[in-house]
Amino acid sequence: MSVAGLRTAARETVSGLPREFWWLWLSTLVNRLGAFVATFMALYLTLDRGYSASYAGLVAALHGLGGVISSLGAGVMTDRLGRRPTMLIAQLSTAVSVAVLGVMVHPFAIAGVAFLVGMASNASRPAVQAMMADIVPPKDRVRAFSLNYWAINLGFAVSSAAAGFIAEYSYLAGFIGEALMTLVCAVLVFVKVPESRPAQAPVKTVDGKRAKDEVRLTTVLRDGRFMGVVGLSFLVSLIFQQGYVGLPVAMGADGLSSSDFGTAIAVNGVLIVALQIPVTRFIQHRDPRRLLIISSLLAGYGFGLTAFAGSVAVYALTVCVWTLAEIVNAPTQTGLVVQLSPAQGRGRYQGVYTMSWSVAALVAPLMSGFVIDHYGAAWLWGACAVIGTVAALGYWLLMRNLPREETPGEENVPEPAPVPAQARPDQAEPDPAAAVAAAVVVERAV
């Protein structure tokens, strides 16, 4: 493609999106540029603090558990308090808890604060995704989610390299740096990102009493098709997680070093940064059902091919296969979640969806460790192929009658307009006790 063609493609990729989206995108990029804890927690605990690998694993599990819990709480907060307040609370809580974690020395204190960091850092995800769905028209959502995912990986790639140098100087500097970058995100959201929560549904009268047609958490859990998508998301993310828990163990068993693993897994980040935008241009107007089926098969059999790897080059080749699946799956699946979510319940729906990834992050290490120890790595990769096939079949069954989102004229049907909280006289006064409890629940990407 010529230089002019590349410029045209780039312009078409980024044009037409609301200004508010780009401020939100910038806050995501800044947030991932400051990532440190998730990347270097294990090395910090074992090398700097001298704790055992088992203790480091326990802390990582508590960090993940915090993310599981906050996914639901943050989803509720996103719908009740609003997208912007939830993001601000989550980011401020993350900044404080990360800074505190850097100065903790007692093992119980480290574990407890790591749990809080997991809660806080994960709580902004439902709000960010719900806000993007609010402000971006349906026809552009896959493109917007893809650009956001690209920012996450670009920021994470840069921060991982920078954090390695920072860790050689001072781990504490890494914690403080992440806290400061998260504060910058909070400032960006506070100054530049307006609230986008749609207006509440019309008030109905039931037996002479006023009642709202409100989407509750139980509504989400009773939504059979959506919960099926959440279950399939769990299966797919369980596969992707093996790139960070099963793959290094398998490569070590083959006599390869940690630097060999770093070389192989770096292919993942490089390909996402290089291909996410052009691949999105190719898939953004294609049938999401086919894309999810194909990406599930690519993920499963991409990891399945790892059973035949024995050198760094072959491992890197398998990473190429499942990375392509990741590039296609991430924005498509997020767009599907929005398509299945009512506007007033987007926070709760996104929270339950986010939880599927958090639970997978907890289950994947247990799964890989058990299978490798008892049966060998080849069985793990075979299981990934089976899981990918099951997920592909599940998407086909669930979405056979799913209507296309972009029907003629749909983009001209406005969603309920966002209005300030004080302009809703029908909205109940917040319960102070519930607000305190919600704040406790609040808060990477890939």
Domain-embedded: residue 408: no
pLDDT per residue as tens digits for the range 56-88: 878 888 888 888 888 888 988 998 899 999 999
| Structural domain includes residue 291 | yes
Which residues face 203 on adjacent strands?
Answer: 212
Between the CA atoms of 382, 267, 354 and 111, what dihedral angle is there, to the nearest 10 degrees?
90
Q: Give pLDDT, residue 199.
A: 73
User: Residue 432's pLDDT is what?
Assistant: 36
Q: Residue 210's beta-bridge partner residues?
A: 205
Q: Is residue 4 part of a domain?
A: no
- Residue recorded with tokens 């098709």: 225
* CA dist., res. 358 & res. 346, Å (int): 18
Global pTM reads 0.74
Contact criterion met (CB below 8 Å) for 348 and 328? no
DSSP H or E run through 211:
strand 209-212
CA 349 to each of CA 53, 134, 334, 406: distance values in angstroms, whole numbers, following the listed order: 36, 13, 11, 20
Residue 328, amino acid: V
Q: How far is CA 305 from the centre of its chain?
A: 26
Please, what is the average pLDDT of the chain?
81
246 within some domain: yes
Measured CA angle at 446 (ends 42, 85), to 5 deg: 100
Q: Which residues pair with 204 in a beta bridge?
A: 211
Res. 316 pLDDT band, cuts 50 70 90:
very high
Q: How far, in Å, CA of 177 to CA of 325, rounded? A: 33
CA angle, 40 then 46 then 52, to 5°:
135
Q: What is the DSSP letter of 45?
A: I
Distance, CA of 176 to CA of 99 (rounded, Å): 5
**How high is the pLDDT of residue 269?**
82
pLDDT tens digits for range 121-176: 888 888 998 999 899 988 888 888 888 888 888 887 787 777 777 877 888 888 99
**How far apart, in whole angstroms, are the C-alpha atoms of residue 247 and residue 261?**
8
pLDDT tens string 395-423:
999 877 665 554 333 443 344 444 444 33
Supply the pLDDT for residue 7.
Answer: 65
Q: What are phi and psi of 176, to 5 degrees?
A: -65, -40
Give the three-class secondary structure for 419: coil
Residue 413 placed within a domain = no
SS3 state at 206: strand
Name every residue whose Cβ is closer than 8 Å to that of residue 235 and which is 6 or more positions away in sequence. Answer: 296, 387, 388, 390, 391, 394
User: Does the pLDDT value for residue 232 go beyond 90?
Assistant: yes
- 338 inside domain: yes
Q: Are strands 203-206 and 209-212 parallel, antiparallel or unpaired?
A: antiparallel
Between helices 377-398 and 346-374, what is the axis angle to 10°? 150
Query: What mean pLDDT do residues 230-257 have?
Result: 88
- Would you state the structure tokens that stand for residue 106, as one six-digit string? 């007692």
Beta-bridged to residue 253, according to DSSP, are: none
Q: Does 364 reside within a domain?
A: yes
* Total tally of structural domains belonging to the chain: 1
**Is 7 part of any domain?**
no
What is the domain extent for residue 36?
19-196+220-402+432-441
Average pLDDT estimate for 347-354: 90
Distance CA 210, CA 190 (A): 34
CATH of the domain at 388: 1.20.1250.20
pLDDT band for position 120 (cuts 50, 70, 90): very high
Q: Which two tokens stand for residue 148?
A: 């956001």
